[in-house]
Structure formats: structure tokens, C-alpha cells
Amino acid sequence: MIRVRFTQQEIARRVRELGEEISKDYQGKTLTVVALLNGALPFAADLIRNISVPVYLDTFAASSYVDDSSCGKLNVRSSLKNSVEGKDVLLVDDILDTGFSLAATVEHFRKMNPSGIRTCVFLDKILRTPKPVKADYTGFPVENAYVVGYGLDSRELYRNLPFIGIMEKEEKENQIIDRSTKMIHVVAEMEIRKDCMKKILALVKELVPLVRAEKGCIQYEPNFAVDDEGHEKYFFFVETWESEEALKNHLASPHMAKWREDVKELRLTSRVKVLSPAGI
Ligand code: 5GP
Ligand code: MG
């Protein structure tokens, strides 16, 4: 189920305000708007039509991954059509979550020697952890939930919704699941090294959509748990697989191989339990 969070009207009003603010700030200049694909497309399309200074429009597609440096590394899928050297660049993105992607993107753009670089995100997720980058222009702050619509996807769907909604858990329950067969439950637990939880969360964010898209994945729920002092110390995956074969394929997948490699340095211990239903 998707619960409406920002209506089409609220979005339109806010985009108009952002456009006016940006136009004022760039008075007398020409702006190069770079839409970060795919999520920022609808927002960037609306935004440029509310900007009154001359605009160059370009697009850039990349995803970030985390390594041992403080911000993420960038995986560039498609680059710019025109050079931004000496240009006033405005990077436009759909949502600022951990901020790793945008921070890495800004770094990447700095190397191209623009005369200025600012960022504009439609949503900024309210998180307890500090972010490596703050957007110069923000549409709305939003609670820490999974949002879809207005460019934002869930497994590449819902980007075309004209409003922004919060994805609620029931989605999975609408799927037809044959409970009579050999479903398998798995609990995977890791004890995380001090100060590594942020890196774990960034990796988990990349992993979860890939796992959920696997054939035979019924649920794949990431959770953390605190120790006695309230520090985030443990990370759990609660998983349900349609069959033993689905679980086997999952464990052999390339993204799980990458995950195992990536978390090696970040965790102290790890345990995976495949549960046997008690049949009650
Ligand atoms: P960050 O690097 O800031 O954690 O992640 C930013 C990217 O993750 C966004 O550009 C977006 O593609 C994706 N993302 C983060 N949170 C959400 C969300 O709640 N919904 C959707 N659909 N995508 C999100
Ligand atoms: Mg994005």
C-alpha cells in the first residue's frame, strides 16, 4: 500500500518556490542544471520550467558504493553531454538519504572545474546520523521511511506517480504465496565493529533491492539492535525464501559474494541460522 505524503499540488507549489529562489540567486548568470538519473527526472523537468535565468540541461547517471574512504566511491553509468568547465552547475537529485551518493557526485564534479557547484534535492530524509553533504536547496524534509513516486522507485516501478507516497509493509502481503510448500526462514546476525554501522547501512541499502528482486525471495528485512548501553551494535537480516533452491541461488549470487567481501572488515562476528519450523 502507498500512503500519500506530498500531493501533486503541494509538490507543484514547492517546486515553484524553489525555482524562484534559484532564479534570484543566479540572477544575471546562466545555469547548468544536471539531473541525476533516473530519480531526479520529473523533479528536474518541473524545476527548470520554474527557473527564469538561461539554463543548460544535462544528465548524469551514477551510483555510489562505500569503501574505506570517508565518502562513497562512484560508479558512473552515463556521463555528461557537454563540458561543465567554468560553468555554474546545479546538481539536482530526488532524495538525500545517507548523502553518500550526492557527496561522491559533488566530488566527481569538482574535478571538472566548474566555476560553481550547488545541489538541490527534492526530499531530505531526517536521519539521526550526520550526512557528508548538505543540499543548498531542499524541497521538503521527510521522515525516515521508504518513499516512492515523482521519480522515486521501488524496484524501478512507481516513478510515474504524480505524488510522493510512503510505501507501507503490506505490499509484500499482496503477493500470492503458496504457504503449503517448503518455505525457509533464515536469520543472519552480525556484530558490527565500533563506528562501522554507517558503512554497513550504506552497503545494506545497495544490497536489499538486489536481494528482494531475486526469484523466490518472500521477505528480506534488515534490522539493527542495540547493546546494553544503547549503541547500535548488531545487524540482523530476517529472511524468508520460497524454497531451498531459492536460498541456494541467493547465497551463490554475485551481489552476495560482493557483500561478504565488503563486510569482512566491518564486522566482528557473524552467524546464519536456517530455521526449522516447529510445525505448530
Ligand atoms: P544516499 O546515497 O543519499 O543514501 O542515497 C540516495 C539515493 O538512494 C537516492 O538518489 C535514491 O535513488 C535512493 N533512495 C534513498 N532513499 C530512498 C527512498 O526512500 N525511496 C526511494 N525510492 N529511493 C531512495
Ligand atoms: Mg538516485
pLDDT tens, position by position, 28-54: 999 999 999 999 999 999 999 999 999
Q: Is residue 101 part of a domain?
A: yes
- pLDDT value at residue 114: 98
Q: Which of 167, 195, 212 is the last residue of a domain?
A: 167
Count CA atoms closer than 13 A to 128's CA, side-chain side. Answer: 5
Model confidence at 276: pLDDT above 80: no
CATH number, position 119: 3.40.50.2020
Q: Nearest to residue 246, comparing CAs of 280, 205, 212?
A: 212
- Nearest-Å Rg of the Cα atoms of the chain is 21
CATH number, position 201: 3.30.70.100
Model confidence at 235: pLDDT above 50: yes
Length of the chain in terms of residues written: 280
> Which of 3-12, 20-29, 169-178, 228-237 is predicted least confidently?
169-178
pLDDT tens profile 141-199: 999 999 999 999 998 999 999 999 998 865 444 444 444 557 889 999 999 999 999 99
- pLDDT value at residue 68: 47
Ligand 1 atom closest to Cα of 103? 2
Residues 46 and 79 in one domain: yes
Ligand nearest to the CA of 159: 1
Query: Helix crossing, 8-25 with 41-48: angle to 10°?
Result: 60
| Best residue among 34, 95, 146, 203 to mutate for probing ligand 1, ranked by most atoms within 8 Å of CB | 95
Ligand nearest to the CA of 201: 1
Residue 97 designated active-site: yes
- Across the range 220-242, mean pLDDT stands at 91
Q: Is residue 280 part of a domain?
A: no
Range of the domain at 91: 2-167
Residues 184 and 92 in one domain: no
Q: Is residue 198 part of a domain?
A: yes
Q: How many domains is the chain built from?
A: 2
Between CA 81 and CA 25 the distance in angstroms is 25
Between CA 250 and CA 241 the distance in angstroms is 9
Between CA 251 and CA 241 the distance in angstroms is 11
Residues 227 and 263 in one domain: yes
Q: Which of 139, 167, 195 is the last residue of a domain?
A: 167
Distance 209 CA to ligand 1 centre (A): 11
Residues 138 and 200 in one domain: no
Which of 46, 93, 94, 97 is labelled catalytic? 97
Parallel, antiparallel, or unpaired for β 147-148 and 137-142? Answer: unpaired
Distance 146 CA to ligand 2 centre (A): 13
Dihedral Cα 213, 218, 220, 223, nearest 10 deg: 150
